[in-house]
Amino acid sequence: MNDITGLTLIETLKALEEKKFSSEELNKAYLERIEKINPRLNIFLEIKKNPQNMPAAIKDIICTQNIRTTAGSKILSNFVPPYSATVIDRLKEKGIGIIGKTNLDEFAMGSSGENSAYGPTKNPWNETKVPGGSSSGSAAAVAADLCTFALGTDTGGSIRQPASLCGVVGLKPSYGRVPRYGAIAMASSLDQIGPITKSVADARLVLEWISGPDGKDSNCVDPASCKVTPCAARGCLAGVRVGVPREYFGKGLDKGVEKVIREAIKKLEELGAEIVEVSLPHTEYAVAAYYIIMSSEVSSNMAKFDGIRFGSGREDFGPEVKRRIMLGTFALSTGYYDDYFAKAAEVRTLIKQDFEKAFEKCEVIVGPVSPTVAWNLGEKIEDPLTMYLSDVYTIPASLAGIPGLSVPCGFSDGLPVGLQILGKYLDEETILNIGEIYEQSTDWHNKKPDLGKEA
């Protein structure tokens, strides 16, 4: 492990303060590593040198002033935004700079990174595997130590799932916690920006930096305070009720993943938590409802890419984007609206109520992030339905607007597994605290992929 690039964000901030190294040395260490590793893994679409700043990697769907932002699409191959997203401005105020823009599934539509117009990113743990998606490059950049932390976006799982498949921490904040202004919209009622980090404490810090009301996003809520305080009592979960939804352990869940998740739950119990069984009965309808709602919003959001104001013409959309535009346009058309969109919206309410009911019995809900570990590149790309089903455990929380954290919790077949911790609306604090207590009592977060001698 490289001494500098192996550090977490908080460790790096401390080392800089103690003058163990300078920001120039910090950036040099990361850039040298990127030069060696990036050609193999195809993580960055753009690399920047800004030696004064803390090097962060930004998903290339988040607008960065004067830095090309492609959304992983050929359509925007020449798009250089004249402004930055609110989150980028907020990071800048904290002295954070952009070391690179990361690869992603086109317009964040996908679960494997393979829908990028710029070629797939490879999983740092095994270069024949997908890193997950759609924040494929951001998760891989953190796993391969090519940045101090990254930003991703999550509409149906795109922060949590790649974080899980790459063995790093990923937080999808509650809907409305982080301003979306400047993130190119996929499905506006679901999209959230969030951190992908090397530790839970880092995710808490980044969330604090980027969250809070913004005049440019009217959905952005104003919780009394956006501070997420770390809990005082370290290492003890006494009095915490952890809900385990029986629907998240059904068929389709890989046996190896299930074993790792069950062990993690046992660990929470050893730490003092009370484990309670809960039920989320409408889980089985979540993927279907999501594909109607999300595609409907996609079809509307993609209409602006008509070749007149932004980028090139519609023939440059990739197949997955076209598929969703067609699906969404159909679902919204006269005569079908009530059968599809209105019905899906009702299912969404039922899913939200499932969570509200379950949270009467517990403070957090835990389960797998993904039913499997990382799969082979090319394995599911011809089969969209199988690909869609890989988001079965992340989509419900997206529809309900509640926060979700992925924390490394072990390995199956030599590949990382993430534990998903879901919380009540706007209660990031509790999931981060429980995630951190779990993390600090296990060693999983210290495991790094072997990237060979040249790393």
**Binding residues for ligand GLN (CB under 6 A):** 108-111, 134, 154-158, 186, 294, 391
Contact assessment for residue 173 and residue 412, using Cβ atoms and an 8 Å cutoff: no
Q: How far apart are CA 228 and CA 1, in angstroms?
A: 31
Q: How far apart are CA 321 and CA 295, in angstroms?
A: 9
Q: 124-142 in b/e burial notation, b at 16+ Cβ within 10 A?
A: bbbeebbbbbbbbbbbbbb
Q: Which is nearer to ligand GLN, 106 or 363 (CB)?
A: 106
Q: Which is nearer to ligand GLN, 4 or 43 (CB)?
A: 43
Minimum distance, C-beta of residue 410 to ligand GLN, in the bound complex (Å): 23
Longest distance between any two alpha carbons in the chain, whole Å: 66
Residue 312 annotated among the catalytic residues of the structure = no
Consecutive H or E run containing 293 = helix 286-301
Residue 158 annotated among the catalytic residues of the structure = yes
Minimum distance, C-beta of residue 112 to ligand GLN, in the bound complex (Å): 8
Q: Which is nearer to ligand GLN, 156 or 423 (CB)?
A: 156
Q: Tell which residue, 41, 25, 150, 158, has the closest CA to residue 99.
A: 150
Joined tokens for residue 314: 């519609």
Q: How far apart are CA 337 and CA 120, in angstroms?
A: 35
Q: Which is nearer to ligand GLN, 242 or 294 (CB)?
A: 294
Contact assessment for residue 318 and residue 115, using Cβ atoms and an 8 Å cutoff: yes
Query: Which amino acid would we find at residue 129?
Result: K
List 134, 135, 211, 296, catalytic entry:
134
3-state secondary structure of 80: coil
Minimum distance, C-beta of residue 203 to ligand GLN, in the bound complex (Å): 17
Residue nearest to ligand GLN (CB): 158
Minimum distance, C-beta of residue 156 to ligand GLN, in the bound complex (Å): 3
Q: Which is nearer to ligand GLN, 186 or 271 (CB)?
A: 186
Residue 59 annotated among the catalytic residues of the structure = yes
Minimum distance, C-beta of residue 26 to ligand GLN, in the bound complex (Å): 30
List 59, 101, 198, 380, catalytic entry:
59
Report the sign of the C-alpha dihedral through residues 39, 43, 46, 52, in that order.
negative
Residue 153: which residues within 8 A CB-CB, separation 6 or more? 59, 61, 62, 108, 134, 135, 159, 183, 186, 191, 192, 193, 194
Give the number of residues written for the chain. 455
Q: Which is nearer to ligand GLN, 186 or 206 (CB)?
A: 186
Minimum distance, C-beta of residue 274 to ligand GLN, in the bound complex (Å): 32
Q: How far apart are CA 88 and CA 58, in angstroms?
A: 9
Contact assessment for residue 112 and residue 136, using Cβ atoms and an 8 Å cutoff: yes
Minimum distance, C-beta of residue 149 to ligand GLN, in the bound complex (Å): 19
Catalytic residue positions? 59, 134, 158
